[in-house]
Structure 1
Amino acid sequence: MPRIAIGGFLHETNTFAPTKATYEDFVSGGGSGRMLSGTEIISELGHVNGAISGCIRYGQQQDWSLVPTLFAATSPSAHVTEDAFERIAGDIIDRIASAMPLDGVFLDLHGAMVTEHLDDGEGELLKRLRQKIGPDVPIVVCLDLHANVTDLMFRMADVLESYRTYPHVDMAETGLRGARALSRMLGGDRPAKAMRIAPYLSAIAWQCTTAEPARELYAKLAKLADDSHDVSFNMGFPAADFAECQMTVLAYGPKADGVADEMLAAVIAAEPQFCGKVWAPEEGVAEAIRLSGSAKGPIVIADTQDNPGAGADSDTTGMIRAMVAADAAGAIGNLYDPEAALASHRVGERGALTIALGGQSGVPGDAPFIATFAVEALSDGNFIAAGPYYRGKKMSMGPSACLRVGRLRIVVVSAKAQMADRDMFRQVRIEPENEPILIVKSSVHFRADFEPIAAHLLTCAAPGPMAVDPKDLPWRHLRPGIRLGAMGPAFKTEDII
């Protein structure tokens, strides 16, 4: 029986975001689920949509002796604190080292972690792990499609296997591919590998793999990834201000260099297509009202710049203001405001309260929305998400409420998680299919569950920390010459103010 250590440490870091990730955030998990250790990992994560889940299932089928260590994740935010990184990374490495001898290591990482003291959290973790277990034990790492893959990550791991869908509906499948790659290495045969870096950043709003150009690029990748080759294209997370924030192509196998070159050429040729239409809040709401007059389903608006899945605090009020000003009917979620949620519970259903809602993050151009709200529904925030992104995950949003102002319903929650599942509305008795306009604090993941009911999709840019266009961010540390978005200007250190 091969002895395989498994674990996970996931964080997507927006270095421009307002709030850091502490050790306590990883313990509670926010919208990502609490920290797990030992056999809890297998019992809690064996059947959800996660990379570690795919490895668990494969390992059980192959009669591997799985050695579960630690699994920690929390919602995207600003930097991971030094304390959190050192405690969690140290715990994972110590558990793996104490389990030696091992035949392999499988880790579920994000690939875009920046800490208070390290630009490359995953690379540092893997380097320290290598120093502990030596060069002979194969390490396979599964990454998010938005990983900013660094040279250190590439060198320290034998295979980096990444998601191929955005919305991420193939996380478990990616874990399965990674486990198969590890299985092929158990006999000691490590593959040749190649890494290529694209010359531009792409905005996450236009990275959806069910639309062009990503759909065609990943179709090409699937053809290149034959029985002899593992291939990944990481579109990167374009809100991490360090030199290796970048899109990358990875290839493993006998013809790794040629495969990587061919895939990179396709990525470069697709650059002009990584663009899209962005609406100002008032214009987007006006267009949604116009479209809803004849629509047979909701008009779904992505409040992309306040996406908690990209490090925002999910509490800006720009889209609320636009909807109320237009007297538009619809619903918006999730608005993160624990104090407002608790106040709603104190008042009770059918009560009313006058409060300053949201707007606590200090985002330029944003402010709390002061109004009298009707409390329409209350919830403890616990439910199981049924959509294809969260896929059976136990969600814990904390005390939650549906507040109404005018004809707008607002889902107020006490934990941050991207609005990517219709059950996030239903948990406070909002039926999303019945709303003329739905506003979701998400960029792309919402498409997995909302696109089937949407008559039209719009992207709006209300004030928020996740700029829809990379050129609008105050970069200081990027690699000189990389273009700030598709067809965007090149980054120049002399332009730093």
Structure 2
Amino acid sequence: MRLAVGGFQHETNTFAAQPATLADFTAPDAWPGLTRGADLIDAVRGINLPAAGFIAEAFATGDTIAPLTWCSATPSGRVTRAAYEHIADLLLDDLRRERHLDAVYLDLHGAMVAEHVDDGDGELLRRVRALVGPDVPVVASLDFHANVSEQMLRQASALVAYRTYPHVDMTTTGARALRCLHLIRSRPPRRAMRQPPFLIPLTSQCTLIQPLASIFDDVVRRERGSVISLNFTPGFPAADVDDCGPAIFAYGSDATAVARQVEELTNDIAARETEFALEIHPIESALAELTRTPATRGRPIVLADTQDNPGGGGTASTTSLLKELVARRMRGVLAGIICDPRAADRAHEAGIGAAIEMEVGAFFGNTAGVAGETPIRGRCHVVALGDGKFTATGPFYLGSRMELGRMALLRIDDIHIAVASRKQQAADQAMFRHLGVEPQDFAVLVLKSSVHFRADFGPIARRVLVVAAPGPNIADPASLPFTKGRGAVRR
């Protein structure tokens, strides 16, 4: 087959203040910046991304790739109208120039919200469908946290979602999407979807622990016979849109079998709703746990600063948790990744070995920031410097060619703070090794992440404490001011 391949990814926290601008999609960070045409293939090659998996599988099966536009941006507030329309136009213009296509594949997130469009992914699929017509298969891969809408289901021939969180299966999901496309190319599949009437906190969605570990074993078991693709997306709960929340959807050749598997899986998940209860520690509680369970170097305790996780729309710059650790003169602490280009620049100007009075953190760009959050002020020792360019080695970011701008390792007493000029969640040990430190050598790790850190840091952690420090990525959906969808219904 001759297959068009493109992508447009954003996970939108509608309660976060910082919007996603065109510059955020253009600049590389953990993943490539906006790429068009033939450059797309090399840009994603070897990275744990769905597009990379789809392309590799297509080459293995003898298919031909017609590359379009691909881009992504770190989760944040809504995508600006200008950015959304510009990127959508690029992708559609690329698609319009292609001839004799057998199918279209899109690498999407599924929880993109623009300033003027609540269902950003559904609207993009609608425009693609209008361009290629009803007979050309359109298949998309979706993130685990997709908020799947009826429009997305209706406009796509098939949607295939990740099955792991941390997302270690992005490449294999792209390959699954290609295999699904081969199965449906000659005959449009039957489909069904159900949306359970509740929201699941982000930190309760980890597939390394229950209940999702066994639920996804069940998903794989049920995908058999005439049911060619069965998916469960727990949803991205920080989005005030009609379709925010979990979805179970499937495709196959037998409508009865497809509907039955969706219905049974939905009922099983609904029966386990109470198992998704949020487990999170206020700062005082987390530090008390550190006292009760003394941390030791070599098997660090991880404090997950989930509400400022940039992977969920956080700023990666709040300081309340770090300030408490500094005030208590905690020892053996490594924290990151703090987004503060001002601090990184000051460190580079001062040089390694310098000790300077400076401010760290509470960098919010042109937005109002997070109420009550102010920088850490004190005497910082510049321990190491980096250019922010390195290759990730952990299971989630595997192969990503990071470009985080100027980076620095700062020390206040025995607390080391890794600072970068671009925000990226701390989900890969290479982020710290770039600055010459080994995370396992510390007693406490403070990570700006919710769940993805578990893929690389979990094996070395003695214990994980999810901490409720200030930030825009509110952990408890029940505390968010929903006006739409399931969040509003259950208030």
Which TM class, normalised by the smaller chain length?
over 0.9
Q: Structure 2 residue aligned with 1:192, among 172, 190, 195?
A: 190
Q: Structure 1 residue aligned with 2:267, among 242, 265, 268?
A: 265
Amino acid at match of 1:28: A
Amino acid at match of 1:265: N
1:294 Cα shift? 6.1
Match of 2:335 in 1: 332
Match of 1:22 in 2: 21
Q: Does 1:160 align with 2:184?
A: no
Cα distance in structure 1, aligned partners of 2:6 and 2:325: 44
* Contact 1:289–1:328 (8 Å) recurs in 2: no
Match of 1:427 in 2: 434
Amino acid at match of 2:132: I
1:290-439 alignment, distance < 5 Å? 290-293=292-295, 297-329=299-331, 330-361=333-364, 362-439=369-446
1:365 Cα shift? 3.2
Match of 1:75 in 2: 74
* Contact 1:29–1:75 (8 Å) recurs in 2: no
Match of 2:34 in 1: 35
Q: C-alpha offsets along residues 209-239 of structure 1, whole Å, 9 cap, x if unaligned?
A: 0100111111110111125320110100001
1:130-209 alignment, distance < 5 Å? 130-186=129-185, 188-209=186-207
1:33 Cα shift? 2.4
Gaps of 5+ in 1: 483-489, 492-497
CA pair 334-326 structure 1, distance change in 2 beyond 3 A: same
Q: State the superposition RMSD in angstroms.
A: 1.3
Match of 2:236 in 1: 237
Q: C-alpha offsets along residues 102-151 of structure 1, whole Å, 9 cap, x if unaligned?
A: 10011100000000110011111011111111000001100001000011
TM-score (normalised: structure 2): 0.96
* Contact 1:32–1:417 (8 Å) recurs in 2: no
1:39 Cα shift? 1.6
Cα distance in structure 2, aligned partners of 1:113 and 1:480: 17
CA pair 293-305 structure 1, distance change in 2 beyond 3 A: closer
Cα distance in structure 2, aligned partners of 1:267 and 1:248: 10
| Matched residue SS, 2:293 | helix
* Contact 1:45–1:53 (8 Å) recurs in 2: yes
CA pair 181-61 structure 1, distance change in 2 beyond 3 A: same
* Contact 2:310–2:425 (8 Å) recurs in 1: yes
Amino acid at match of 2:313: G
| Matched residue SS, 1:89 | helix
Amino acid at match of 2:353: R
Percentage of pairs with the same residue = 40
Gaps of 5+ in 2: none
Cα distance in structure 2, aligned partners of 1:132 and 1:311: 32
Q: Higher mean Cα deviation, 37-46 or 152-161?
A: 37-46
Cα distance in structure 1, aligned partners of 2:143 and 2:247: 12
* Contact 1:31–1:416 (8 Å) recurs in 2: no
1:425 Cα shift? 1.1
1:470 Cα shift? 0.6
Match of 1:90 in 2: 89
Amino acid at match of 2:205: Q
Q: C-alpha offsets along residues 430-464 of structure 1, whole Å, 9 cap, x if unaligned?
A: 21010000010000000000000001111001111
